[in-house]
């Protein structure tokens, strides 16, 4: 067999999704000549940041096996809590924001504990929690509204020098994920996802793996909620309910598998960019309104089929 370079072996499967991503960006540049200006770039990042966070959150759960069906509801709930807890004084807002992010993380960690301890199927439990989160969101904020501090919103959607804050936040959390991935927790998540029984037999704490995966998932979902809050300047109990499918599509496009234990952050982010830019591209193609549902469904099916086919081809090689 011909020797391949290590880089190609490790990241070769990500080439197609990056080609699609560059194509998407290309269409945007073509239709929007000032795409690379500082303001347009930062606006694009503000639009993409929630998709990137929610896709990373979905990736965490898919890596350990299963998928989080409640993710959209959770993001909506977090926007409601943010909009409800923020006050005028920004000095008091910062600890509040951190507390809300941790609260959402701990809530999800509890769900992870239930799934890990009782050995329940992830999909069914998250289906039940999606009920609970959507109900809670409607209970906290029946109609879109609430108060989001303008200073915080302008900071999050603005930029430091020429670099957008949304981009920096994504970068920071990607770096954090890369560190987690190389730590014992990351290895635990991948090990449980690959083969739960083998992980248990080797003396790993499977329940802890679920707790950590769901905790990270919750924190990322809360961050997606924060970015949405900053962009819309309000909380909305239904804003992200349709984003669950987008997150799954992004992760699958990025090569994360449903059986768990396989997938890379680099792919997921490319997938998230593609999914996030899709709205723009569909707009340029004059596909609007009701047809987007149609296109989203078909793209999801195609991406899963291509992913399966690629994995099959690699196994046979």
Partner 1 sequence: MRKDNDTPRQLVKKSAWGIIGANKQIIALLIVAAIFYIVSFIVSGTKFIAILHISSFMALAAMGQTLVFLIAGIDLSVASLLSAAGILLCTLVDKGVSFAGSVVLVIAASAIVGSLNGLGISYLKIPPLVMTVAMQYILRGATLVTTNGKPIAISTASLSYWVNQGVIGPITGGILVTAICCVMLMWMLYKTKFGREIFFMGSSPRVALMSGINNDVITLKVYTLAAALTGLTGIMLVGYTGTAAVRIGDSYLLPSIAAVLLGGTSPLGGKGNVVRTIIGAFILCNTVSLLTVLQMSEAARQVIEGIIVLIFIVVNNVDIQRKKKKKA
Shortest CB 134 distance to partner 1, Å: 6
Shortest CB 133 distance to partner 1, Å: 8
Q: Are 203 and 56 in contact (CB under 8 A)?
A: no
Q: Which stretch binds partner 1 (CB under 8 A): 18-26, 48-56, 122-130, 169-177?
A: 122-130
Q: Considering only residues 234-253, where is the footprint of partner 1 by CB under 8 A?
A: 245, 248, 252
Shortest CB 39 distance to partner 1, Å: 33
Shortest CB 84 distance to partner 1, Å: 14
Say whether residue 296 binds partner 1 (CB under 8 A): yes
Shortest CB 142 distance to partner 1, Å: 7
Q: Considering only residues 249-278, where is the footprint of partner 1 by CB under 8 A?
A: 252, 258
Q: Contact letters (x/-) for partner 1, 82-121, by CB under 8 A?
A: --------------------------------x---xxxx
Q: Which stretch binds partner 1 (CB under 8 A): 43-51, 91-99, 181-189, 286-294?
A: 286-294
Q: Considering only residues 186-215, where is the footprint of partner 1 by CB under 8 A?
A: none
Say whether residue 305 binds partner 1 (CB under 8 A): yes
Shortest CB 102 distance to partner 1, Å: 22
Among 67, 222, 223, 278, indicate the residue that binds partner 1 (CB under 8 A): 67
Q: Which residues bind partner 1 (CB under 8 A)?
A: 67, 69, 114, 118-121, 123-125, 127-132, 134-139, 142, 245, 248, 252, 258, 289-298, 300-301, 304-305, 308
């Amino acid at each position: 067999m011909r020797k391949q370079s290590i880089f190609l072996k490790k990241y070769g499967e990500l080439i197609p999704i990056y080609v699609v991503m560059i194509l998407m960006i290309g269409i945007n540049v073509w239709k929007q000549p000032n795409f690379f200006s500082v303001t347009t770039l930062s606006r694009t990042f503000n639009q993409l940041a929630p998709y990137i966070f929610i896709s990373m959150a979905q990736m965490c759960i898919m890596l350990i096996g299963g998928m989080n069906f409640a993710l959209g509801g959770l993001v909506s709930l977090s926007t409601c809590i943010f909009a409800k807890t923020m006050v005028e004084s920004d000095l008091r807002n910062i600890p509040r924001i951190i507390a809300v992010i941790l609260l959402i993380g701990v809530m999800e960690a509890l769900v992870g504990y239930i799934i890990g301890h009782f050995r329940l199927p992830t999909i069914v439990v998250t289906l039940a929690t999606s009920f609970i989160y959507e109900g809670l969101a409607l209970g906290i904020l029946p109609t879109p509204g609430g108060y989001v501090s303008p200073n915080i919103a302008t900071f999050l959607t603005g930029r430091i020098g020429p670099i957008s804050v949304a981009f920096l936040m994504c970068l920071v959390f990607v770096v954090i994920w890369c560190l987690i991935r190389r730590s014992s927790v990351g290895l635990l998540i991948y090990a449980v996802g690959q083969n739960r029984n083998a992980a248990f037999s080797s003396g790993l704490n499977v329940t802890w793996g679920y707790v950590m995966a769901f905790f990270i998932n919750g924190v990322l979902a809360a961050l997606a909620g924060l970015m949405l809050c900053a962009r819309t300047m309000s909380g909305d109990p239904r804003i992200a309910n349709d984003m669950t499918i987008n997150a799954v599509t992004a992760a699958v496009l990025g090569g994360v598998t449903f059986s768990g234990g396989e997938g890379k952050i680099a792919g997921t982010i490319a997938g998230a960019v593609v999914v996030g830019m899709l709205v723009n591209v569909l707009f340029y193609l004059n596909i609007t309104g009701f047809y987007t549902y149609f296109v989203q469904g078909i793209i999801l099916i195609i991406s899963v089929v291509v992913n399966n086919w690629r994995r099959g081809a690699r196994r046979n090689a």
